[in-house]
Amino acid sequence: MLPVIALIGRPNVGKSTLFNQLTRSRDALVADFPGLTRDRQYGNGRVGDSPYLVVDTGGLVGGEEGLDSLMADQVWQAVDEADAVIFLLDARDGLNLSDEQIAERLRRSGKRAWLALNKSDGQDTDAIVADAYALGLGDPVPIAATQGHGVTSLINRVLADF
């Protein structure tokens, strides 16, 4: 079975950058403009002998209304269709209400989920690791998607379940 792994999180947390690392491609659009990647994007990846399919998604803000809620529906549909989810957090920004709302819905979905604490490069992550743990989705894995730090360790943890 080819595990399908969805990447979700707020705009600008580094989902597309992580997608590019996991697929070693430049297919996903990486930009400084929050919310630019609105459509779902699929890519193949492999670690050792284990292939997987990774899904990049548009940003979630939590508690979306109007047009935003239609885009959020797309993301939650990607979650539905996935075997596992990587929920990215931003170690530079810290956690906010959006992260809590996303976490709550993710917990309710019952989907297997891992927390990735991205942008951990050059950050003292102790306080935010504790905040992230309080989301009730397990231990966050610190990563730096731009440099690829922690990415293999993260994907190995996810794939260990399959």
Task: Give yes or no for a contact between 37 and 162, defined as CB atoms under 8 angstroms apart.
Answer: no
Task: Give yes or no for a contact between 28 and 37, defined as CB atoms under 8 angstroms apart.
Answer: yes
**From the list 16, 20, 21, 23, which residue makes contact with Mg ion (rule: CB under 5 A)?**
16
Cβ proximity to Mg ion: between 10 and 15 the closer is 15
Q: Which helix (H) or strand (E) holds 147?
A: none
Locate 44 and state its tokens: 């193949």
Instruction: Tell me, by CB under 6 A, how many residues bind ligand GDP.
Output: 18
Q: Which helix (H) or strand (E) holds 110?
A: none
Cβ proximity to ligand GDP: between 95 and 144 the closer is 144
Query: Does 31 contact ligand GDP by CB under 6 A?
Result: yes
Query: Does 22 contact ligand GDP by CB under 6 A?
Result: no
| Token pair 């919310």: residue | 35
Query: Does 125 contact ligand GDP by CB under 6 A?
Result: no
The rounded distance, in Å, linking the Cα atoms of 126 and 120 is 10
User: Which partner, ligand GDP, Mg ion, none, binds residue 98 by CB below 5 to 8 Å per kind?
Assistant: none
What is the total residue count of the chain?
A: 162
Number of Cβ within a 10 Å radius of residue 160: 8
Query: Does 13 contact ligand GDP by CB under 6 A?
Result: yes
Cβ proximity to Mg ion: between 37 and 98 the closer is 37
Name residues contacting Mg ion, limited to 22-61 (CB under 5 A): 37
| Token pair 């797309």: residue | 74
Question: Residues marked as binding for GTP?
Answer: 9-16, 56-60, 118-121
Residues lying near Mg ion in the complex (CB under 5 A)? 15-16, 37
